[in-house]
Chain A
């Protein structure tokens, strides 16, 4: 399998990176042994690669940092334990508000379904939509934003509002999911101890799109899907008008689910109440 000089570039890089098959490596070696130009090139590339690897050899993590991380993980574990205790207490408390919280707990208690496959295409795509996005359009007036969204998506739509005061709508930008036009709303979520998260909500006309992801949760006859694509948290929901809501955030999963359950998606589409139906059924 003789090769030509013009073909050696991909082979040289891949050979030095250990990516060639035995046959390809043999063919390259045969060529290089007979071609001075390619031999020189390969030798130069190899020396450069070796030099770069030597110069870039990174330092190890300092011992102090190991300890710091261990403490941080212990704190994270304590926070998780506190959250569980809080949830158990809420379950026991009476009152209408608690009924809704109790239903939310039921949601959490839903058995984790074995994923149909490893991929959760839509949430995966949304979570990886980081590079190449156009700039965020910041609009102070939410009515203006609703108008812009309606004009852009050509469907009647209003951004959901959240009962949590620590959620701030920052702006939106055009987006595409599954080849369909979508709008990506960007929220900032403020939490205690100066923690700040970003929540992105992709809105799109989603009829005939499979919104399923890892965990299916049934709430008052409605279904939401919860997942953790690329280490992010996601919640997807489709209303009866076929509008898909894909929430992606770096905040903990249970926090994101709570936020979505606390939104006014119920008021936006009365027939599609998530929280509304849940609460009324619980009462």
Chain B
């Protein structure tokens, strides 16, 4: 049976609201402004409260809340960018994560060096993060800000662990790209030239850990 409202609220506040700062922090990074972050968190919390009776109390409450936050964020994104734009983004994301091989020789030539990192300011990083598509942004926020494991992110984002790794890899790459572009625009670094270090190993890298482990298992 459903729990009584008073008991439910007390239990909810004690168990779920301890994650409020984490939710707010992630929402702030996803939406980029405090007002939207508050709206997103409030909707997440109220939705979680309404469905508190359905939450398995022995499971991971923080991951459950982030799943709702993620779902709410993507739903809002879809409402705002209805139709073809969403389809376009989804297809772009699909293309980016379908395979495990990325041919990014050109991108790898733009690796930011010390100069870039030394001159990067938080505002640029936030701007670069916001320029990522929602799926890449979520993966980076959940891993680099919230410290969720790949498995937890996979559960939150409803996708395989391999896709999480691809989104992280690709998201971080795009983040670097954007930062590099900002730095070039500000005259901090030059356009890629001969002096830029280049890892030939970066080109065509596989980022599928499972594939690596399977290969290893077969060779031992």
Contacts and interface: CB of A to CB of B under 8 A. Distances in A.
Contact of A230 (B41, B71, B197): B71
Nearest to A19: B150
Nearest to A47: B117
Given A9-B207, A58-B24, A231-B67, A76 B50 contact: yes
A66 interface: yes
A17 B117 contact: no
B20 A69 contact: yes
A68 interface: yes
A210 B24 CA distance: 38
Nearest to B129: A56
Nearest to A233: B51
Given A77-B5, A231-B67, A13 B165 contact: yes
A9 B54 CA distance: 41
A68 B17 CA distance: 13
B71 A130 contact: yes
B20 A66 contact: yes
B129 A232 contact: no
Contacts of B211: 10
Interface residues of A, number: 68
B212 A10 contact: yes
A112 B1 contact: yes
Contact of B120 (A44, A51, A66, A130): A51
A41 B198 CA distance: 10
B57 interface: no
Interface string B183-220: 00000000000000101011001111101100010001
B34 to A, nearest CB: 8
A37 interface: yes
B94 to A, nearest CB: 7
Interface stretch (A131-139, A159-167, A267-275): A131-139
Interface string B137-154: 000110111000110000
Nearest to A61: B24
Given A61-B41, A135-B83, A73 B13 contact: yes
A173 B3 CA distance: 38
B158 interface: yes
Contacts of B78: 130-131
Nearest to A53: B144
B135 interface: yes
A228 B47 CA distance: 10
Contacts of A6: 201, 205-206
A184 interface: no
A49 B179 CA distance: 13
B133 to A, nearest CB: 10
Interface in B38-92: 38, 41-42, 44-51, 53-54, 56, 64, 67-68, 71-72, 74-75, 78-79, 82-84, 86-87, 90-91
A198 interface: yes
A72 B126 CA distance: 29
B126 A1 contact: no
B220 to A, nearest CB: 7
A194 B78 CA distance: 20
A5 B201 CA distance: 7
Nearest to B50: A252
A53 B140 CA distance: 10
The 3 closest A-B pairs by CB, nearest first: A58-B25, A9-B205, A231-B68
Interface of B: 1-2, 5-6, 8-9, 12-13, 17, 20-21, 23-26, 28-29, 34, 38, 41-42, 44-51, 53-54, 56, 64, 67-68, 71-72, 74-75, 78-79, 82-84, 86-87, 90-91, 93-94, 111-114, 117, 120-122, 125-126, 129, 135, 140-141, 143-145, 149-150, 158, 165, 168-169, 172, 175-176, 197, 199, 201-202, 205-209, 211-212, 216, 220
17 contacts: A9-B206, A13-B169, A38-B201, A41-B201, A48-B172, A52-B125, A58-B29, A59-B28, A69-B41, A76-B46, A111-B1, A130-B74, A130-B75, A131-B74, A135-B86, A135-B87, A214-B54
Interface of A: 1, 5-11, 13-14, 17-19, 37-38, 40-41, 44, 47-49, 51-53, 55-62, 65-66, 68-70, 72-74, 76-77, 80-81, 84, 111-112, 118, 127-128, 130-136, 198, 214, 227-228, 230-233, 250, 252-253
Given A14-B209, A76-B49, A231-B51, 16 more contacts: A9-B201, A9-B207, A10-B211, A19-B209, A38-B201, A40-B197, A41-B199, A52-B172, A53-B144, A55-B122, A56-B126, A56-B144, A59-B25, A68-B42, A74-B9, A130-B78
